[in-house]
């Protein structure tokens, strides 16, 4: 099947521009744009050019190693993978209901992860675009530029992220490769001293998170034409919601809505995800294209992540985030918000919710309890789902009688958003690039649209000297007209 | 008390030669004057780990580094933009200055030549040879963690 602007009719006669890699995202993505000699757009594709093969890598390993091993998938969201794997492997050890202390410790880790990831994304990666402008001076359009012009904003970003990392460190036992969550429960609870250390700062974090929501809300109110329309496209959306319909990022059932906000399915046990979701393969990307089976590949693709979650739930259980959710919903009106820049607003509401949840958990006596593990009848297959910072994360394993993994299937958040990100860049290309001379500022519009989804494309290889960017403009006769390249140290040359 | 020397290894040990930094770090002897940290990537909050240090050493693996390793002084760089979630050491020093309103501690980069960074692969034998040379060099550095001594060992360009 094909979407508008996915495949040009006569690509051999068109110019090609590549944004490679897309910057300020996690990992390596590439956008190619085919234009004719009047700069009219004929084809736009977001390619994922890194093949990970993690599902094969994990086969044959003992299942108890998995929660630690999967953290090495990613330098940004290791906790999400650890928790999704642990939830899936709870079924293997028969832990149908983890103990209250285990569930709350896992939630604490998870909300720490949400807080630090959302803070990093907003303050570090996106605020330069939002506060300086999409086509502002490129030498200032980064966190260093933000630190110079808005030092207080930059400081808060650093301290919010640091706090989230500290929550993870105390809950998981160490900074990286933590072993806090294991199949069946957790291997540590918080000590009184750890709890009190975190309690000292949490009220400040709640306050700063609330102000971050206000900052992004103000941006929407100041420039609704841009924020409501930039790269906007209609889409179905899916997320896990709590058993009571609340925003629950750790556990619940699957719910999806169509582009008008009508329920497509609700209350679905995530163990049955494979009955709902299929994945299409396209020959130009390593990343699959998931869709809802009942609607087919053409109409069944959907969006996940903060913009979906905040609009999919019935309410948020923490008071300050619920006030903000209501205001967000009122701003959107009767119809759901589909604009990609709405992700930032929704993401900050979630960050506030995460900070409030951490505060509540630190005041809960179970968090310092000693009943850490549950057991039960041994199983051979398990599915674990959590709402990771970027969206719904599915881990599915089968284990043999020797405790070795025989099958692993992962559907990561960014994969769910594959079609949606492609739609966003095509809309932006049509809105801003079509018929215009291409400049770096205009190309950054494409990247702004991708960044709104906070895609996580890599497994954290970051060796010095890697990740150049190259933009080539090639004439219809195939002769290279100009190039712009960025080296590993960030310098540009033509 | 904050240890005067910070050694920060960057790398993902499940990605072939990306493991060189963490592997080197773990072979260094425990010393109360040295704090050893590792992470997959440098992030903004790592600027806070640099506070009150006498000297900082970043250890990483690099694709285009001359073998067996390159040792260089890291300096704040206004042009060091970030292009991923991760920072380069030079940008981290700039974040440090913005955050604390003071110059960052003297910082150096030991970049060990790697060859393959594929997921699930072990470090290559060629790179492990580079690692051995880098380990010996690091032990020499740590005998005298002094800026002028380290400056004298910087790899000529």
Q: What is the ipTM of this complex?
A: 0.82
Mean pLDDT is lowest, of A45-49, A290-294, B76-80, B103-107, for B76-80
Residues of chain B positioned with their CB less than 8 A from the CB of A414 = none
Cβ contact A490–B111 (<8 Å): no
Q: Check whether A222 has a pLDDT greater than 80.
A: yes
Q: Higher pLDDT residue, A490 or A429?
A: A429
Residue among B18, B47, B85 whose CB faces A461 most closely: B18
Is the CB of residue A3 less than 8 Å away from at least one CB of chain B? no
Q: Indicate whether A199 pLDDT > 80.
A: yes
State the pLDDT at residue B87. Answer: 80
DSSP letter for each residue of A44-61: EEEEE-----HHHHHTTS
Cβ–Cβ gap B79/A491 under 8 Å: yes
Q: Contact A105/A171 with Cβ under 8 angstroms? A: yes
Q: Classify A467 in phi/psi space as left (phi over 0), alpha (psi -120 to 50) or beta.
A: left
Mean pLDDT of chain A: 86
The confidence band for A482, taking pLDDT boundaries of 50, 70 and 90, is very low
- Intra-chain end-to-end CA distance of chain A, in Å: 38
What's the gap in Å between the CA of A100 and the closest CA on chain B? Answer: 31
Banded pLDDT at A494 (limits 50, 70, 90): very low
What mean pLDDT is predicted for residues A370-381?
96
Which residues in chain B touch residue A469, judged by CB atoms under 8 angstroms apart? 83
Interatomic CA distance for residues A123 and A118, integer angstroms: 8
Q: Across chain B, what does the average pLDDT equal?
A: 90
Per-residue confidence at A29, pLDDT binned at 50, 70, 90? Answer: low
- Answer whether A143 touches B (CB < 8 Å): yes
Per-residue pLDDT averaged across A90-102, rounded? 96
Share of chain A above pLDDT 90, in %: 59
Give the sign of the dihedral formed by CA A127, CA A303, CA A42, CA A44. Answer: positive
Distances (CA, A) of A239 to A9, A256, A302, B104: 36, 7, 10, 44
Flag the least confident range among A72-76, A368-372, B91-95: A72-76
| A-interface mutation test, from B15, B37, B58, B83, most A Cβ less than 10 A away | B83
> Smallest Cβ distance to A459: which of B12, B90, B109?
B12
E strand or H helix that includes residue A198: helix A192-222
Distance from CA of B46 to the nearest CA of A (A): 8
How many residues in total does chain A contain? Answer: 494
**Contact residues, chain A, for B39 at CB < 8 Å:** 75, 175-176
Mark yes or no for CB contact B83/A26 under 8 Å: no
What mean pLDDT do residues B114-135 have? 91
Provide the pLDDT for residue A457: 59
Q: How confident is the model at residue A420 (pLDDT cuts 50, 70, 90)?
A: very high
pLDDT at A47: 73
Confidence of residue A27 (pLDDT cuts 50, 70, 90): low
pLDDT at A467 over 50: no
Supply the DSSP string of chain B, one letter for each residue. Answer: ---SEEEEEE--TTSGGGGHHHHHHHTSPP-TTEEEEEESSB-GGGGGGGTT-SEEEEEEEESSSPSSEEEEEE---TT----BSSB-HHHHHHHHHHHHSSPPPPEEEEEEE-----TTPPPPHHHHHHHHHHHHHHHHHHHS--HHHHHTTSPP-
Please compute the mean of the pLDDT values over residues A346-359 and round it to a whole number: 98
Name the range with the highest mean pLDDT among A23-32, A201-210, A461-470, B96-105. Answer: A201-210
**A16 versus A114: which is more confidently predicted?**
A114
Query: Which of B18, B45, B84 is closest, CB to CB, to A26?
Result: B84
pLDDT at B76: 86
Distance from CA of A148 to the nearest CA of B (A): 7
Q: Which pLDDT value is given to residue B7? A: 98
pLDDT, average across residues A114-143: 85
In chain A, which residues have their Cβ closer than 8 Å to the Cβ of B37?
Answer: 175
The Cα–Cα gap between B116 and A198 comes to: 40
Checking if the pLDDT of A492 tops 70, the result is no
Interchain pair B62, A491: CB under 8 A: no
Average pLDDT on A444-467 reads 61
Interatomic CA distance for residues B72 and B69, integer angstroms: 10
Asked if pLDDT for residue A269 goes beyond 90, the answer is yes
Q: Identify the pLDDT of residue A137.
A: 81
Please list every residue in chain A whose beta carbon sits closer than 8 Å to the beta carbon of residue B13. 72
Name the region of A436 (left: φ>0; alpha: ψ -120 to 50; beta: rest). beta
For residue B109, the distance in angstroms to the closest alpha carbon of chain A comes to 10
What integer pLDDT is reported at residue B85 of this predicted model? 60
Task: State the pLDDT at residue B153.
Answer: 97
Q: Find chain A residues with C-beta within 8 A of B61's C-beta.
A: 463-464
pLDDT at residue A283, rounded to an integer: 78
Could you give the CA distance from residue A186 to residue A102 in angstroms, rounded to a whole number?
5
Mark yes or no for CB contact A490/B78 under 8 Å: no
Contact at CB, A53 and B119, closer than 8 angstroms: yes
Quick: pLDDT tens for B37-72: 998 888 888 999 999 999 999 999 998 899 999 999
| Token code pair at residue A374 | 């549950």
In chain A, pLDDT over 70 holds for what percent of residues?
86
User: In this predicted structure, what is the pLDDT of residue A491?
Assistant: 46
Q: Which of B20, B81, B90, B91 to mutate to test the interface with A (most CBs of A within 10 A)?
A: B81
pLDDT level of residue A434 (50, 70, 90 thresholds): confident
pLDDT(A142) > 60: yes
- Residue A150, min C-alpha distance to chain B (Å): 10
pLDDT of residue A326: 98
pLDDT computed for residue A7 by the predictor: 79
Report whether pLDDT(A465) > 50: no
Determine the residue among B12, B25, B99, B108 to mutate to test chain A binding: the one whose Cβ has the most chain A Cβ atoms within 10 Å: B12
pLDDT band at A123 (very low <50, low <70, confident <90, very high): confident
């Amino acid at each position: 099947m094909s979407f508008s602007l996915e495949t040009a009719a006569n690509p051999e006669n068109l110019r090609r521009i590549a944004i490679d890699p897309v910057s300020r995202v996690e990992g390596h993505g590439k956008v190619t744009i085919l234009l004719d000699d009047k700069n009219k757009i004929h084809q736009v594709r977001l390619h994922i050019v890194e093949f990970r093969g993690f599902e094969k890598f994990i086969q044959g390993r003992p299942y108890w190693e998995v929660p630690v091993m999967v953290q090495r998938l990613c330098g940004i969201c290791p906790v999400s993978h650890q928790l999704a794997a642990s939830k899936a492997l709870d079924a293997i050890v028969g832990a149908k209901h983890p103990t209250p202390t285990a569930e709350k410790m896992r939630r604490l880790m998870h909300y720490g992860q949400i807080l630090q990831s959302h803070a990093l994304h907003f303050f570090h990666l996106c605020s330069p675009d939002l506060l300086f402008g999409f086509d502002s001076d490129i030498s200032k359009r980064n966190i260093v530029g933000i630190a110079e012009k808005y030092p207080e904003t930059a400081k808060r970003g650093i301290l919010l992220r640091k706090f989230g990392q500290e929550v993870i460190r105390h809950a998981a036992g160490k900074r990286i490769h933590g072993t806090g969550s294991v199949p069946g429960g957790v291997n540590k609870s918080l000590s009184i001293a750890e709890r009190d250390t975190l309690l000292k700062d949490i009220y400040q974090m709640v306050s700063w998170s609330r102000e971050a929501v206000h900052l992004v809300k103000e941006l929407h109110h100041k420039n609704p034409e841009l924020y409501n329309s930039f790269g906007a496209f209609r889409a179905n959306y899916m997320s896990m919601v709590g058993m009571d319909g609340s925003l629950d990022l750790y556990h619940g059932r699957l719910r999806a809505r169509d582009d008008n906000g009508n329920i497509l399915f609700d209350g679905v046990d995530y163990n049955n995800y494979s009955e709902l979701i299929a994945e299409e393969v396209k020959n130009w990307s390593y990343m699959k294209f998931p869709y809802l089976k009942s609607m087919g590949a053409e109409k069944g693709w959907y969006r996940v992540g903060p913009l979906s979650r905040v609009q999919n739930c019935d309410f948020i259980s923490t008071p300050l985030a619920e006030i903000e959710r209501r205001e967000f919903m009122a701003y959107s009106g009767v119809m759901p918000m589909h604009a990609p820049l709405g992700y930032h607003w929704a993401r900050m509401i979630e960050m506030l919710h995460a900070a409030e949840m951490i505060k509540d958990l630190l005041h809960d006596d179970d968090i310092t309890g000693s009943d850490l593990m549950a057991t039960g009848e041994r199983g051979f297959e398990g599915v674990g789902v959590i709402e990771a910072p970027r969206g719904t994360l599915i881990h599915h394993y089968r284990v043999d009688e020797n405790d070795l993994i025989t099958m692993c299937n992962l559907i990561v958040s960014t994969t769910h958003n594959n079609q949606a990100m492609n739609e966003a860049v095509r809309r932006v290309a049509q809105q801003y690039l079509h018929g215009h001379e291409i400049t770096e500022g205009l190309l950054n519009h494409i990247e702004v649209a991708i960044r709104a989804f906070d895609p996580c494309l890599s497994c954290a290889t970051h060796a010095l000297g890697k990740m150049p960017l190259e933009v080539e403009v090639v004439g219809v006769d195939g002769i290279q007209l100009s190039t712009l390249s960025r080296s590993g140290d960030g310098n540009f040359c033509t | 008390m904050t240890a005067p020397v910070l050694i920060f290894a960057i790398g993902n040990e499940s990605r072939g030669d990306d493991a060189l930094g963490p592997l080197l770090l773990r072979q260094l002897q425990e010393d109360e004057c040295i704090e050893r940290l590792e992470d997959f990537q440098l992030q903004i909050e790592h600027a806070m780990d640099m506070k009150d240090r006498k000297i900082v050493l970043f250890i990483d693996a690099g694709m285009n580094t001359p073998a067996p390793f390159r040792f260089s002084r890291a300096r704040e760089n206004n042009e060091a933009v970030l292009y991923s979630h991760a920072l380069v050491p030079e940008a981290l020093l700039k974040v440090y200055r913005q955050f604390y309103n003071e110059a960052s501690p003297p910082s150096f980069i030991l970049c060990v030549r790697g060859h393959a960074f594929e997921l699930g692969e072990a470090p290559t034998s060629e790179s492990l040879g580079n690692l051995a040379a880098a380990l010996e060099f690091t032990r020499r550095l740590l005998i005298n963690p002094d800026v002028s001594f380290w400056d004298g060992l910087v790899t000529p360009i």
